[in-house]
Amino acid sequence: MLLFVSCKQGSSTYSTMPTFTEKGGINVIIEIPAGTNEKTEYNYSKKRFEVEEVEGKKRSIDFLPYPGNYGFIPSTYMDPEKGGDGDALDVLVLSETLKRGTIIEVKPLAILELLDDGEIDSKIIAIPIDTSLQIINARDYITFMVKYNAAQQIIQNWFLNYKGVGEMEFISWKNDVAAMAEIERWATEEEEE
């Protein structure tokens, strides 16, 4: 019951939803619930979630399930002309399993920077703003690094292996300030004057 009070379910307006919330948090749309392996993405033109297909087959991650709720930050676009991958900014929300399509307000803790096929692939690591949905007690990068170093290593190792051994390369971890700057860099919404 608490989940429905704190999180909104599906919307066809994901492309126009603001990146930033009035409380100073970040909106996130969940595509892949924690603990699942099906690679789902939001199709903006069809306004629905679809399982990614590779060579005519639905894609399932051939590895351990997602270690958190995976999704994207609305109204962000990583422009390839500026070094991006052409998609919205990715985010991993550390919380109990959330339903596909859930909209949740989060606080960024860190960025995991990886190299994927020669391109930088940034993953924002975040926690829910709603403390009743939090599963870790970290408000910033330093606490995350020190108190939850094992969780950080699990996340890093998961992303380094979920596409297969040697497909992804580790670049670095960056702090919560860098995570917010990365979100601001790719935000496409017009700022009010």
Query: Under a CB-based contact definition with an 8 Å cutoff, are residues 110 and 174 in contact?
Result: yes
CA 31 and chain centroid, separation: 9
Query: Under a CB-based contact definition with an 8 Å cutoff, are residues 3 and 30 in contact?
Result: no
Query: Under a CB-based contact definition with an 8 Å cutoff, are residues 23 and 129 in contact?
Result: yes
Tell whether 13 is covered by a domain.
Answer: yes
Tell whether 192 is covered by a domain.
Answer: no
Task: State both tokens at 18.
Answer: 């603001």
Tell whether 39 is covered by a domain.
Answer: yes
* DSSP string computed for 36-62: --B-EEEETTTTEEEE-EETTEE-B-S
Tell whether 52 is covered by a domain.
Answer: yes
Tell whether 20 is covered by a domain.
Answer: yes
Domain extent at residue 76? 2-186
What pLDDT is recorded for position 83? Answer: 84
Which candidate, 78, 123, 128, 131, places its Cα nearest to that of 103? Answer: 128
Tell whether 67 is covered by a domain.
Answer: yes
Q: How far apart are CA 17 and CA 93, in angstroms?
A: 18
Residues of the chain where predicted confidence (pLDDT) is lower than 70: 1-13, 15, 189-193
How many domains does the chain contain in total? 1
Burial class of residue 94, CB neighbours in 10 A (0-12, 13-18, 19+) = buried
CATH code of the domain covering residue 69? 3.90.80.10
Tell whether 193 is covered by a domain.
Answer: no
Query: Under a CB-based contact definition with an 8 Å cutoff, are residues 144 and 136 in contact?
Result: yes
Q: How far apart are CA 42 and CA 29, in angstroms?
A: 9
What pLDDT is recorded for position 80? Answer: 87
Distance of CA 22 to CAs 26, 27, 178, Å? 9, 10, 20
What pLDDT is recorded for position 6? Answer: 39
Tell whether 162 is covered by a domain.
Answer: yes
CA 13 and chain centroid, separation: 18
